C-alpha cells in the first residue's frame, strides 16, 4: 500500500513537469457512500484539497465520476455551469484552467485526474492526451485503494 501510494504521488509529480501545469490532483470516490475526496496533489499551493469532499455529481470530481466523461474548464469562473462555490478545488488552488478525466475501476468511474493552471493558458489537446494516458496508468495503481 505504501509503495502504491508512492507510485501514485510520483505519477502526479511527473504529469506536473511533463506538461508544465501548475496543479495535478487525484480524487477518489469513497469506498462506502457517494462522496468524493481529493487524495493526492502535486503543485498544490496549500493543503485545502485534503479537506474538500464533494457529493457524487457535484464539483468537478463528482461530475466527472457521475458522467464518466472528461470536463474542461476555461477562464474560471466564467463560462461555468452553476456557481463558483460548486468548484471548490478551483477556488482552493486559484485555478483558471482545468482538465479532468475519469479513472475507472472494474469498469466504473471511481476517480478523477485533474490538471490545472493558475495562469491564462488553456490545456491544449496534446496535453489532454497526456492526461488521458496518465489516467489509464493510474487505473492500474488504485486497485489497492478500493
Q: Collect all residues with Cβ–Cβ distance below 8 Å to 7 and sequence separation of at least 6.
A: 141
Nearest to 84 by CA among 95, 96, 76: 76
* Chain segment 47-91, per-residue pLDDT in tens: 999 999 999 999 999 999 999 999 999 999 998 888 999 999 999
C-alpha cell at 28: 477518489
Host H or E run for residue 131: helix 125-139
Q: Which domains does the chain have, with CATH numbers?
A: 2-145 (3.30.450.40)
CA dist 20 and 4 (Å) reads 24
Instruction: Report the half-sphere exposure of 68 (CA within 13 A, side-chain side).
Output: 6
pLDDT confidence bin for 2, thresholds 50/70/90: low
Q: Quick one: average pLDDT of 104-114?
A: 95
**Residue recorded with cell 456557481:** 83
Q: Given this model, what pLDDT does residue 31 score?
A: 84
Amino acid at each position: 500500500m505504501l509503495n502504491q501510494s508512492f507510485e501514485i504521488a510520483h505519477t502526479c509529480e511527473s504529469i506536473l513537469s511533463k506538461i508544465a501545469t501548475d496543479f495535478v490532483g487525484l480524487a477518489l470516490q469513497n469506498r462506502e457512500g457517494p462522496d468524493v475526496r481529493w487524495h493526492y496533489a502535486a503543485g498544490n499551493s496549500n493543503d485545502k484539497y485534503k479537506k474538500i469532499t464533494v457529493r457524487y455529481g457535484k464539483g468537478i470530481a463528482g461530475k466527472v465520476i457521475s458522467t464518466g466523461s472528461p470536463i474542461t474548464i476555461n477562464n474560471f469562473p466564467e463560462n461555468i455551469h452553476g456557481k463558483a462555490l460548486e468548484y471548490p478545488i478551483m477556488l482552493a488552488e486559484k485555478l483558471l484552467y482545468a482538465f479532468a478525466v475519469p479513472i475507472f475501476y472494474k469498469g466504473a468511474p471511481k476517480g478523477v485526474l485533474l490538471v490545472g493552471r493558475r495562469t491564462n493558458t488553456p490545456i491544449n489537446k496534446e496535453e489532454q492526451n497526456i492526461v488521458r494516458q496518465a489516467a489509464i496508468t493510474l487505473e492500474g495503481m488504485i486497485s489497492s485503494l478500493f
